[in-house]
Amino acid sequence: MTIEATANEQFLADYRPYPFDLKQVALEFDLAPAATRVLAALDFQPRESGADLVLDGGKQIKLLSLTIDGAVPDAAHVSRDDETLTIAAAALPSGPFRLETEVQIDPSANTAFEGLYLSGGMFCTQCEAEGFRHITFYPDRPDVMTTFRVLVRSDQPVLLSNGNPVRQEPGLAEWHDPWPKPSYLFALVAGDLVAVSDHFTTRSGRDVALNVWVRPGDQDRAGFAMESLIKSMKWDEDAYGREYDLDVFNIVAVDDFNMGAMENKGLNIFNSKLVLASPDTATDADYERIESVIAHEYFHNWTGNRITCRDWFQLCLKEGLTVFRDQQFTADMRSAAVKRISDVQSLRARQFREDQGPLAHPPRPDHYEEINNFYTATVYEKGAEVIGMLKRLVGDDGYRKSLDLYFQRHDGDAATIEDWLQVFEDATGRDLTQFKRWYTDAGTPRLKMAEDWGDGRLTLRFTQNTPPTPGQPDKPARVIPISVGLIGPNGDEVLPSQILEMTEASQSFSFDGLGARPVVSALRGFSAPVILEREIDDATRAFLLAHDSDPFARWEAGRDLALSALLQLAQGNMAGDDYIAAIGQLIADENADPAFRALCLNLPSEEEIATRLSARGVVPDPDAIHAARTDLARRIAETHEALLSNLYRLMAVPGAYSPDADAAARRSLRIAVLGLLSRIDGGDRAEVLFGTAGNMTERMAALVCLIRRGRGQTALRLLEEEFGDNRLVMDKWFMIQPMVAPVAESVQIAQTLAKRKDFDWKNPNRFRALLGGLAANHAGFHRADGAGYAFTADWLMKMDRANPQIAARMSTAFETWTRYDAGRREKALAALQRMAAMEGISRNLREMVSRMIA
């Protein structure tokens, strides 16, 4: 690798269509670990005369032969650089022609897991975003779509690719995908695999064979993934009228995978942690995540595959929409209220954090250096929020009509955000010019709300303001849908939820004819991804926590109460009595959903407290935050000990483990209670639970408590003895230790773990477990002496040489560095500069680090 001195910036404004149509593609693979041969026949049709044929293709590809309509072109007309192969226009016929190439690649040397690689002896591919160019020479861009015929020769027993099977013989398989697709949706798998199989009959009567392929021995852990797939297929028919369009749908689990999962046409490839689950190895959270990611990838078949993206700037067109759809799915399968609250929690933890720092970017960026750095919370989660707002503004019917029109108008297209918005304008007659700012502008708007009361009239005055983000100093006002309800002094709702549409920088809305001054419940359901700032005292918050009919707003009131106490405590003031009293009432409320009560009981994370403090202009002190949170949790436990002990007994789930939502809800409350009680019982309950629980959910929860109490050693050892050869369980084992360890020990624990033989750091899950575990220990990672920063930087540099995508993604541990005190900033900056100066740094990591230093 060489240092790339020149920036490789790509700009949205530079988009040009590809000058050739690609009519069809035939590929032949002769698989061998170190020397795989790929024959490609591409049928091109020029769209304009005089254009050179530029194909993407990395320098690792060895070109063995190249012909045009069977003839070898003059060598002077063929040129290569590190990233492309060009055939000069002079060597091309003016009409249709066939380009044939034969190349050789080395999957065994591919540690970046991009293109064709080996995972535990099995061949597999990852092509999004630009992996196909590591397989063969090709116009590797999403707006070039065509049909693929794929022949695979290999001695591996199972040979899979996209589309429908044409031929299966020992050592050979042929697949044909009738649906035109871009190269990023190509996939190939060859390995020793077994399937859990089922089938699904679509609403028009097509029988689809379904397979979840796993390694021999893992079959008994693939059933839940299959159930989730069948539910997803049914849901997309019912909710969106979308039917599956091939004879087979294959899912493959692989152990080495950079991301969660991938929606390749008819052949989804999954990180094994998002497929494999059994009660003794997976937690409730794992089950829920598997269900939602299986759904997500399946839903891409329409939102992503049948309608794809014109270019990578439009990534949120498929990702925002598909996240929105998987959120709707989970809301339907489980508790909608709980789902909404957890989505907001993770939006705030990941996307607000991103938006407030040097990596802020709009859901649709207009420039990038490395597209893999833009698979972010902003593109995914904020992209989904934007769609939620659109739906709120046009209503359920308007949304349905718009989506029908989108599928009808753009099926088979590589579309843009402009196309998407146009559909809504045409279907509903609404002007979305201002709304589009949500796609083009970065940053989280601050929404201030003030109240005026007199003569039976309540006036709400809103002001919006979005702080500057890199490259975007001034932000015009956006349209913000604000859902508001009014609650009378006796707790009854006097005005049910309605949407106020704010379009100006400041704007007032009045409500007349009110008998007594109501309490305002604002931003119900989190109707817009903004930070609401209102003057409200703890008594009003407690009132909302007791009476609000909107579950999100109710939870939010409790959250604000907790935060208000924590922010005080973290700054050395006494606080928390109001919160402790209010939470006591809530946990005693037997009518409330246990999962909801659990969400209310879980204190905001230290990261969230730091983010809030810094949004208010206070420099967060990680140690003080940690102490404040620990102290508040202990006081809750002391005050409500009797109530909590009772609840702990009450919420035990009798009988065999089932991952269903109700059982999971009871366990989540029980675990939240255990977390509090273990602050005062020395960890005794946790020790009992660890020894008796028959499922990983409770064992993990107990382990967290034990480690926190400094008595995790035995449990850790037992877990290792039992699951030492189970990668997924050991990932948890690696993650939890640096994450939960006492602040002073976390870095040292990470260092010790990193020396173990089974710290197989090239495996992305294992690397993420250890480094991500440390990064999740807020006070540990941000240790004042900079040891957390230095350790992380060392490993990111090491990883960058093997797998730049993973190094770049994990570097976001540093994205908040500017908000801390001068001492910490100096040490974080030193770590960032050390990375920036690394010889041979990848484009991925270099872009991230330079954005963070800028």
Residues in touch with ligand PHE (CB under 6 A): 126, 128-129, 259, 261-263, 296-297, 300, 319, 375
Residue nearer to Zn ion on the CB measure, 286 or 319: 319
Identify how many contiguous H helices and E strands the chain contains and give both numbers.
28, 30
Shortest CB 223 distance to ligand PHE, Å = 22
**CA angle centred on 192, ends 191 and 197, rounded to 5°:** 100
Which does residue 128 bind out of ligand PHE, Zn ion, none, counting CB within 5 to 8 angstroms by kind?
ligand PHE
Q: Which residue is nearest to ligand PHE (CB)?
A: 259
CB nearer to Zn ion: pick between 20 and 299: 299
* CB nearer to Zn ion: pick between 379 and 389: 379
For residue 375, the partner it binds in Zn ion, ligand PHE, none, with Cβ less than 5 to 8 A by kind, is: ligand PHE
Determine how many CB atoms are found less than 10 A away from the CB of residue 588.
Answer: 13
Q: What is the rounded CA–CA span in Å between residue 685 and residue 476?
A: 54
114 sits in which H/E element:
none
**CA 338 centroid distance within chain:** 18
Task: Report the partner that residue 126 touches, choosing among ligand PHE, Zn ion, none (CB closer than 5 to 8 A by kind).
Answer: ligand PHE
CB of 263 or CB of 606, closer to ligand PHE: 263
**Cβ neighbourhood burial of 670 (10 Å; 0-12, 13-18, 19+):** buried
Which of Zn ion, ligand PHE, none interacts with 355 (beta carbon under 5 to 8 A by kind)?
none
Selection from Zn ion, ligand PHE, none that 295 binds (CB < 5 to 8 A by kind) is none
Q: Residue 128: what residue type?
A: E
The distance of closest approach from Cβ of residue 446 to Zn ion in the complex, given in angstroms and rounded to an integer, is 30
Selecting among 128, 288, 291, 297, the annotated active-site residue is 297
606 closest CA partner among 616, 620, 595? 620
From residue 382, give the alpha-carbon distance in Å to each of 360, 363, 375, 496, 668: 12, 7, 12, 27, 27
CB of 300 to Zn ion, least distance (A): 6
- Residues in contact with Zn ion, shown as a per-residue x/- string from 261 to 300 under the rule CB under 5 A: ----------------------------------------
The CA distance from 684 to 694, in Å, is 18
Tell the smallest beta-carbon distance from residue 184 to ligand PHE (Å): 8
Q: Please name the residue that has the structure tokens 């049910």.
A: 496
Tokens 């078949």 — which residue?
A: 301
Pick between residue 319 and residue 381 the one whose CB is nearest to ligand PHE: 319
What count of Cα atoms within 13 Å lies in the side-chain half-sphere of residue 509? Answer: 18
Shortest Cβ distance from residue 764 to Zn ion (Å)? Answer: 17
Q: Which of 179, 389, 351 is nearest to 263 (CA)?
A: 179
Residues in 477-536 at the binding interface with Zn ion, rule: CB under 5 A: none
CB of 369 to ligand PHE, least distance (A): 16
In angstroms, what is the minimal distance from the CB of 443 to ligand PHE?
Answer: 24
Distance of closest approach, residue 30 Cβ to ligand PHE, in angstroms: 26
Q: Which is nearer to ligand PHE, 129 or 360 (CB)?
A: 129
**What sign results for the dihedral spanned by CA atoms 527, 528, 530, 535?**
negative
847 binds, among Zn ion, ligand PHE, none (CB under 5 to 8 A by kind): none
Q: How far is the CB of 10 from ligand PHE (least distance, A)?
A: 17
CB of 296 to ligand PHE, least distance (A): 6
Tokens 């209503």 sit on residue: 395
Q: State the nearest-atom distance from the C-beta of 393 to Zn ion, in Å.
A: 24
Burial degree of 280 (CB within 10 A; 0-12, 13-18, 19+): middle
Question: Is residue 10 a contact partner of residue 368, using CB atoms and an 8 Å limit?
Answer: yes
**Partner in contact with 547, chosen from ligand PHE, Zn ion, none, beta carbon below 5 to 8 Å by kind:** none
3-state class (DSSP) for residue 321: helix
Residue number, 317 or 479, with CB nearest to Zn ion: 317
Minimum CB distance to Zn ion, residue 322 (Å): 5
What residues numbered 316-335 form the site for Zn ion, per CB under 5 A? 319, 322
Task: Please provide residue 202's backbone torsions phi and psi, each rounded to the nearest 5 degrees.
Answer: -75, 170
Cβ nearer to ligand PHE, comparing 112 with 671: 112
Sole window of 17-25, 233-241, 311-319, 583-591 interacting with Zn ion (rule: CB under 5 A):
311-319
In the window 138-157, what residues touch Zn ion (CB under 5 A)? none
Q: Which long-range contacts (CB under 8 A, 24 or more apart) does 342-345 make?
A: 342/599, 343/381, 344/526, 344/552, 345/599
Binds 343: which of ligand PHE, Zn ion, none (CB < 5-8 Å by kind): none
Question: Known catalytic residue: 114?
Answer: no
Q: Which residue has the tokens 């890199």?
A: 470
* Residue 114, contacted partner among Zn ion, ligand PHE, none, CB below 5-8 A by kind: none
Contact 294, 251 (CB under 8 A): yes
For residues 300 and 679, which CB has a smaller minimum distance to ligand PHE in the complex? 300
Closest among 299, 201, 203, 199 to 212, alpha carbons compared: 199
Shortest Cβ distance from residue 260 to ligand PHE (Å)?
A: 6
With contacts defined by CB under 5 A, name the span among 95-103, 230-238, 313-321, 685-693 that binds Zn ion. Answer: 313-321
The partner residues of 119 in beta bridges, in order of sequence, read 122
Single out the residue of 740, 569, 738, 615 nearest to residue 353, CA to CA.
615
Cis status, amide bond into 384, omega within 30 of 0: no
> Virtual CA dihedral for 673, 676, 681, 683, nearest 10 degrees?
90
CA-to-CA distance for 699 and 736, rounded, in angstroms?
Answer: 12
Which long-range CB contacts under 8 A does 823-831 form with residues at least 24 apart?
823/784, 824/782, 824/784, 824/786, 827/785, 827/786, 827/789, 827/790, 828/786, 828/789, 829/853, 830/786, 830/789, 831/786, 831/789, 831/790, 831/792, 831/793
Of ligand PHE, Zn ion, none, which one does residue 815 interact with (CB within 5 to 8 Å by kind)? none
> 383 or 481: whose CB is closer to ligand PHE?
383
Residue with smaller CB distance to ligand PHE, 274 or 671: 274
Q: What x-and-dash track marks residues 56-75 binding Zn ion by CB under 5 A?
A: --------------------
Residues sharing a CB contact under 8 Å with residue 202, sequence separation 6 or more, in sequence order: 208, 233, 237, 243, 244
Residue 445: DSSP 8-state: P
Q: Of 268 and 695, which CB lies nearer to ligand PHE in the complex structure?
A: 268
Indicate the SS3 state at residue 272.
helix
Choose between 373 and 842: whose C-beta lies nearer to Zn ion: 373
Distance CA 123, CA 450 (A): 60
Q: Which does 262 bind (CB under 5 to 8 A by kind): Zn ion, ligand PHE, none?
A: ligand PHE
Q: What number of other Cβ atoms are within 10 A of residue 309's Cβ?
A: 24
Report residue 127 as tokens: 């092509």
Size of the residue set binding Zn ion (CB under 5 A)? 2
Residues designated catalytic: 297
Binding residues for Zn ion, per CB under 5 A?
A: 319, 322
